Structure 1
Amino acid sequence: MPAATAEKVRPPAKHPVDEVLPPQQLAIYGFQHVLAFYAGAVIVPILLGSAIGLTPDQLIHLINADLFTCGIASLLQAIGFWKIGVRLPLLQGVTFTAVSPMIIIGVNAGGGVNGLLTIYGAVLVSGVVTFLLAPFFGKIVRFFPPVVTGTVITVIGFSLLPVAAGDAILRWDPKTSSYSQSVLSTDAHGNWHLASGGWKILCLALGTVVIIVVIQRLFRGFVQTIAVLLGLVIGTLIAWLAGEAHFDSVRTASWVGVTTPFHFGMPKFVLAAIISMVLVMLVTMVETCGDVFATAEIVGKRVDGEDVARALRADGVATFIGGIFNSFPYTCFAENVGLVRLTKIKSRYVVATAAVFMIILGLLPKAGAIVAGIPSSVLGGAGLAMFSTVAVVGIQTLGKVDFNDHRNGIIVATSLGLAMLVTAEPGVSTLLPKDYQVFLGSGITIGSITAFVLYMVFFHVGNSRGAAIATTSSGDVIGLAQINAMPKEDFVHTFEPLFQGNTWIIADAFDRRPFKDTQDLRESFQEALFSASDEKQRELIAGYPDLGSQEIAPGELGDASIRDRAAIMLSQLRDGEREELAGVTSAYREKFGFPLVICVRDAGSVDQLVAQGRARLDNSRHQELVTALVESAKIAGHRFDDLIADADPIGTARASMANPQ
């Protein structure tokens, strides 16, 4: 056969995601995924079991059921079938978003097995809803922007911290054979007292936090990713040596056991619990979308809306199976997404191998008994570290939010305030009938509902000016809606001072309407600046006055320069400073043929301004043209902030306090 013909029929190379590695590599890399995943996987049933009063035997079964179903869920996602599973190296685990609502549901249902059955009813229905919404979620995901998801994730972290703190002060109670005896108590006068041996319990909790932090500080790579797991292991070992860890149930646990459907009984369906869990899954669906796109970027594989739908269907099916096999709602685990980036092992069959390991572990009750023996104080310490990290993720998400728009500030502040109300004062939930106390008894639920409803009210119901961005010549405040609707001439006039009266930048930005938010408007000016022709860019640079020049006329354009100069009092230079600066600017203009452009507000002082100008004299003309453009963009950014500050001084002051420079 000719070479050319052979070339045509040669099968295409497999994408690394679809590559099947040798068995020994699959085993090693798969087990590594299990280690990174294990602590996060088992901590949910432990927290839930402790909170709703399950017996050690029931907790062991819960842990094994969780691991068993995690394995099935991961196979669905990584291997997939029909239109279920995204077929990427994504490991599935119980979502932390569900912990607080499930605890509230279980406690309100009376705790114990009865509480579990009510939880499972809500889990089953939420799995079906997730599956049905999967193909349509792309159309509603816009109703879950960072201001909503960031608020919800932050609330999750804050709501779970009291749970971890409560575990951190519990010690073993021989009467109940469980960790249910608090080391803190109050006397008749309300004064707090520490029970005998209480310092040992507190030291175990705080020591676990210290161990996790030290590992994260001293180690890198894989060891760092399992810092929580190592903290649990080391903390438990220290507790055992101190006589505070009890593994009596390990001796009586079976070597092999199979989790059976509806082991605890038939589920109970309560409307309030179902609504709460559906809300949890809506937030989880947003997280899954993020994990899918993040993993696709890491492995270098394109994904589209149908891929996202397959991933969400897998979440729905896995959650439904979890309700049958005594487990909980499932989502992609971000820890393992990070491990894929760290190891650069992209094969989805590695995750499938890890899934098989988890199924095997789920069939070993003795392994579950060992995990159930982790002391409550050690678990509480690890929980403090983990749940604080969840809150940090939420804060990072909120970092993408435009807080110059007062609506976003109101949404976040109100949602956090109401969520913390019911977290700090859980007695508020008694104002509602028992079946509906979940709405006021869970910070995550009321925080999620508030964030979503307020977002719809402020952004999608009725007319709104949006963020206050500028003022008209008559002093009227205008927002984003007015800016999107104003004629080009008015738009140019409003923003002309940003670039020394170079209206072509403003006109080009106008053509990029509509602007979705203040940041989008800001970026449109930057894109117009850097995409312009060389001739227009040189024209802009030439329009700036010499630094320290006294020839700046007051007026709309001159006022912007005067405001810039006031940052380091350039208009009040001493004679020596004026001569030194004039010498640098003169030498610069003579060498390059255009003025020295520096963002004065970032310079810090006159001395730093002069030093920066001298240093730039050693650059090439091309580099200085580029630098001048960057500096002009910085200048425009500060002037844009001035427009917003003048239009909304109170909102700007609040944003400045929330984000100090």
Structure 2
Amino acid sequence: MASSTSPHPVHPVDEVPPLAQLGAFGLQHVLAMYAGAVAVPLIVGGAMKLSPADLAYLITADLLVCGIATLIQCVGFWRFGVRLPIMQGCTFAAVSPMVLIGTGGGGLPAIYGAVIVAGLAMVLLAPVFGRLLRFFPPLVTGTVILIIGVSLLPVAGKWAAGGAGSPEFGAPKNLALAGGVLVVVLAVQRFAPPFFSRIAVLIGIVAGMVAAVPLDFTDFDGVGDADWVGISTPFHFGAPTFEAAAVVSMLVVALVIMTETTGDMIAVGEMTDREVEPRALADGLRADGLSTVLGGVFNTFPYTAFAQNVGLVGMTRVRSRWVVAAAGGILVLLGLLPKLGAVVAAVPAPVLGGAGLVMFGTVAASGLRTLAKVDFHGNHNLTVVAVSVAVGMLPVGVPEIYKEFPDWFQTVMDSGISAGCITALALNLLFNHLPGGKRELGTGEAEPAKTEPEITEPGPAKTGAASDSGAEPLVLPGGRAEHAVEQAGEERG
């Protein structure tokens, strides 16, 4: 870690933790996203009635490219990669179109042809999206981050209940296991030393696994059936084909992916105190496009930033991009060693659900923190937030609401994140930018308080002293004052 006296201190995003911490933090990220990472190939392959061997091949190919895509995004090269702690995974926005393409006669070659074209289009459109960053003030970004967190909570709820399709979905024992994991995570965060509190999710998952084995929650049959080594070769299922209808539908998905990824990158930028500039955003979106092209070549699907891991960054305050790069390396190993992947896959859904509740809730809370910067007095900003959240939650609460609409409309609006993001952008333009609208500071940011004195945090010389109001911060036994937490988070990175 850089010395505080260094003339060029290293930003926490660029710090490289010790090797042991890299492994622990990286494994935590992998466990947080694994279920979501393998869900897309399972859904698409299942809908196309692929053999178990082909399904296993799709999963290992997905994990391999997930790892490569994460390394491109975090480490970066030339103009590819946002260089922030962002995990990459297959997007759910492409599931419905890919199922329609695959079952409509085109098969996997038609899917991969459309995916390759979509990836190339994302690379070309990345600079355009980068220039749109000025339309993402705190009013919009806070709303989008809030929607991301709230829309993910049902995913954690389904995991906690046993996983979608489980014959014992909602059984009390499932919820009890998830609740136990949640209690462990909270207890570790509250009472453990700083290092252990930062791997609270990993400790909670391990504790959940220890409890799950004697309670017969786990199934390790897949470990014995899995191969030791598996290598994904280009175009394993045949040369790609390019059908016009398939390409058009996947281009719509590409726009949705870029919109969602923009929101995720801005959210991570907020959490890591590294503002995402237009050039960095374009580099991140360009990396998404390159990863999607690799997906089409190596028998997998379109890639995007994984919102699950955004919550983990905010919760643990581990901001190093090299931690997530380590997670990418672990994913590459899982893709090359299917037996290891099968071990990770044996983690029961309720265990992931208990950890997911606090992670996804953290994303929503981060959105609220960003919205605290916005002025809601004498303007229409409250309407922007209210309507955007409502539109974003519609497909989450009522999944079939758009089933009678055209496929392209469903592709865009069935994702609560993209629906809410588009709505927030449009309403902010309507009320704060277009002629005749009431524009507050031009950005939707809060005006400085005029009736109350400005309250500043104590400087180094005042650390431990009373605040300007004369009140001492409340510190419970074993706890820390809020400003001390913030300071410690800054130091630990």
Residues 309-345 of structure 1: per-residue CA shift (max 9 Å, x gap): 44443343234323433154244965797799759x8
Quote how far apart the aligned CAs of 1:256 are.
0.6
State yes or no: 1:275 paired with 2:252: yes
Supply the AA of the counterpart residue of 2:34.
V
State yes or no: 1:404 paired with 2:400: no
Equivalent residue for 1:288? Answer: 265
Rg (Cα) greater in structure? 1
1:147 and 1:414 mapped to 2: Cα distance?
Answer: 13
Quick check: 1:41–1:67 contact (8 Å CA) kept in 2?
Answer: no
1:416 and 1:461 mapped to 2: Cα distance?
Answer: 22
State yes or no: 1:180 paired with 2:154: no
Change (3 A) 1:79 1:121: same
Once the two structures are superposed, the pairs formed by residues 16-165 of structure 1 within 5 Å of their partners are 27-28=19-20, 30-48=22-40, 54=46, 61=57, 63-77=59-73, 80-85=76-81, 90-94=84-88, 98-99=91-92, 101-102=93-94, 124=116, 127-165=119-157
State yes or no: 1:316 paired with 2:308: no
Supply the AA of the counterpart residue of 1:366.
K
Change (3 A) 1:45 1:202: same
Quote how far apart the aligned CAs of 1:249 are.
0.9
Change (3 A) 1:203 1:49: farther
User: Please, what TM-score do these two structures have when normalized by structure 1?
Assistant: 0.55
Change (3 A) 1:162 1:28: closer
Q: SS at the partner of 1:406?
A: coil
Residues 245-272 of structure 1: per-residue CA shift (max 9 Å, x gap): 1111110100010123355675883645
Residues 11-38 of structure 1: per-residue CA shift (max 9 Å, x gap): xx99969xx999xx97545424422422
Once the two structures are superposed, the pairs formed by residues 465-544 of structure 1 within 5 Å of their partners are 465-466=438-439, 515-516=441-442, 521-522=447-448
Once the two structures are superposed, the pairs formed by residues 289-308 of structure 1 within 5 Å of their partners are 291=268, 306=279
Aligned residues with identical type, % of pairs: 37
1:132 and 1:92 mapped to 2: Cα distance?
Answer: 21
Quote how far apart the aligned CAs of 1:451 are.
1.7
State yes or no: 1:455 paired with 2:425: no
Supply the AA of the counterpart residue of 1:369.
A
Residues 426-453 of structure 1: per-residue CA shift (max 9 Å, x gap): 2212221355433443322322222222
Equivalent residue for 2:224? Answer: 251
Equivalent residue for 2:395? Answer: 422
For this pair of structures, how many residues does the alignment match?
A: 438
Quick check: 2:201–2:355 contact (8 Å CA) kept in 1?
Answer: yes
Change (3 A) 1:369 1:453: same
More helix per residue: 1
Equivalent residue for 1:219? Answer: 192
Supply the AA of the counterpart residue of 2:366.
V
Change (3 A) 1:167 1:338: closer
Change (3 A) 1:414 1:286: closer
Quick check: 2:389–2:420 contact (8 Å CA) kept in 1?
Answer: yes
Where does structure 2 lack aligned partners over 5 or more consecutive residues? 1-6, 456-467, 470-493
Change (3 A) 1:45 1:454: same
- Select which of 176, 201, 212 maps to 1:228: 201
Which structure carries more relative contact order (alpha carbon 8 Å, separation 6+)? 2
Residues 161-216 of structure 1: per-residue CA shift (max 9 Å, x gap): 22332333337xxxxxx9632445xxxxxxxxxxxxx3222212222222222222
2:413 and 2:284 mapped to 1: Cα distance?
Answer: 32
Once the two structures are superposed, the pairs formed by residues 423-438 of structure 1 within 5 Å of their partners are 423-434=396-407, 436-438=409-411
Residues 512-552 of structure 1: per-residue CA shift (max 9 Å, x gap): xxx436756537x7xxxxxxxxxxxxxxxxxxxxxxxxxxx
Residues 47-85 of structure 1: per-residue CA shift (max 9 Å, x gap): 546766848766655553344224323443455444334
Change (3 A) 1:314 1:440: closer
Once the two structures are superposed, the pairs formed by residues 543-558 of structure 1 within 5 Å of their partners are none
Supply the AA of the counterpart residue of 1:242.
L
Once the two structures are superposed, the pairs formed by residues 598-613 of structure 1 within 5 Å of their partners are none
- Select which of 276, 286, 303 maps to 1:329: 303
Change (3 A) 1:217 1:65: farther
Quick check: 1:64–1:363 contact (8 Å CA) kept in 2?
Answer: yes
2:316 and 2:179 mapped to 1: Cα distance?
Answer: 31
2:74 and 2:160 mapped to 1: Cα distance?
Answer: 36
Change (3 A) 1:381 1:147: same
2:444 and 2:140 mapped to 1: Cα distance?
Answer: 17
Q: SS at the partner of 1:429?
A: coil
1:138 and 1:49 mapped to 2: Cα distance?
Answer: 30
1:412 and 1:518 mapped to 2: Cα distance?
Answer: 11
Q: SS at the partner of 2:431?
A: helix
1:125 and 1:221 mapped to 2: Cα distance?
Answer: 46
Supply the AA of the counterpart residue of 1:428.
I
1:335 and 1:386 mapped to 2: Cα distance?
Answer: 5
Residues 600-621 of structure 1: per-residue CA shift (max 9 Å, x gap): xx9xxxxxxxxxxxxxxxxxxx
Equivalent residue for 1:646? Answer: none
- Select which of 334, 347, 350 maps to 1:377: 350
Equivalent residue for 1:538? Answer: none
1:273 and 1:138 mapped to 2: Cα distance?
Answer: 21
User: Please, what TM-score do these two structures have when normalized by structure 2?
Assistant: 0.71
1:113 and 1:36 mapped to 2: Cα distance?
Answer: 40
State yes or no: 1:169 paired with 2:161: yes
Q: SS at the partner of 1:148?
A: helix
2:133 and 2:285 mapped to 1: Cα distance?
Answer: 12
Residues 572-625 of structure 1: per-residue CA shift (max 9 Å, x gap): xxxxxxxxxxxxxxxxxxxxxxxxxx98xx9xxxxxxxxxxxxxxxxxxxxxxx
Quote how far apart the aligned CAs of 1:416 are.
1.5
Quote how far apart the aligned CAs of 1:357 are.
4.5
Q: SS at the partner of 1:428?
A: coil
Change (3 A) 1:322 1:287: same
Residues 479-529 of structure 1: per-residue CA shift (max 9 Å, x gap): x6xxxxxxxxxxxxxxxxxxxxxxxxxxxxxxxxxx436756537x7xxxx
Q: SS at the partner of 1:180?
A: coil
2:365 and 2:410 mapped to 1: Cα distance?
Answer: 28
1:375 and 1:117 mapped to 2: Cα distance?
Answer: 33
Quote how far apart the aligned CAs of 1:369 are.
0.9
Change (3 A) 1:408 1:65: farther
2:31 and 2:386 mapped to 1: Cα distance?
Answer: 32
2:393 and 2:38 mapped to 1: Cα distance?
Answer: 24
Quick check: 1:126–1:316 contact (8 Å CA) kept in 2?
Answer: yes
